[in-house]
């Protein structure tokens, strides 16, 4: 990626609303060698099994209206991303991470930013607004080295 220098022992975290992949660069900035340190996946449950069967209704006088139905998948993704942020905070507090590159789709990055502590934000040296989560590690390595 343009302008991103991933030094030796930098951590790369790629995630979306259902999967997190934590990598460490055991190579150097010119020749990345990413190794998997941690993976985590949220089970994907069909929406019909996550929520209630009918949206709520309310009435004012003679007018009746239905409330907007909750997007249960979106809520589950936001909860998983909050869990990812907590995991990253734990890594930073333990002193494991000195530099971090965060890669996630733009919407997921926005949710993550809301949940990260200032200490974790300080170790993030770059953000990549792309979904790299489902790519094989060699492809992630090639994309980040470009």
Domain CATH number, residue 114: 3.30.420.60
Tens digits of per-residue pLDDT, 97-136?
A: 999 999 999 999 999 999 999 999 999 999 999 999 999 9
pTM, two decimals, is 0.81
The domain containing residue 87 runs over which residues?
A: 11-41+71-145
Tens digits of per-residue pLDDT, 109-118?
A: 999 999 999 9
Overall number of domains in the chain: 1
29 inside domain: yes
78 inside domain: yes
Q: Give the whole-angstrom CA distance, residue 128 versus residue 23.
A: 14
62 inside domain: no
Collapse the DSSP code of 142 into the 3-class scheme (helix H, G, I; strand E, B; otherwise coil) and give the result. helix
């Amino acid at each position: 990626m343009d302008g991103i220098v991933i030094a030796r022992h930098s951590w790369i975290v790629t995630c979306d609303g259902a999967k997190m992949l934590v990598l460490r660069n055991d190579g150097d900035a010119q020749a990345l060698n990413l190794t998997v340190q941690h993976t985590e996946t949220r089970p994907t449950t069909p929406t019909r099994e996550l929520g209630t069967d009918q949206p709520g209704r309310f009435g004012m006088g003679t007018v009746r209206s239905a409330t907007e139905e909750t997007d249960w998948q979106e809520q589950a993704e936001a909860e998983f991303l909050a869990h990812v942020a907590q995991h990253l905070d734990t890594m930073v507090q333990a002193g494991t991470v000195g530099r971090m590159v965060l890669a996630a789709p733009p919407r997921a990055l926005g949710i993550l930013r809301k949940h990260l502590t200032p200490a974790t934000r300080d170790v993030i040296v770059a953000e990549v607004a792309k979904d790299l989560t489902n790519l094989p590690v060699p492809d992630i390595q090639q994309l980040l080295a470009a």
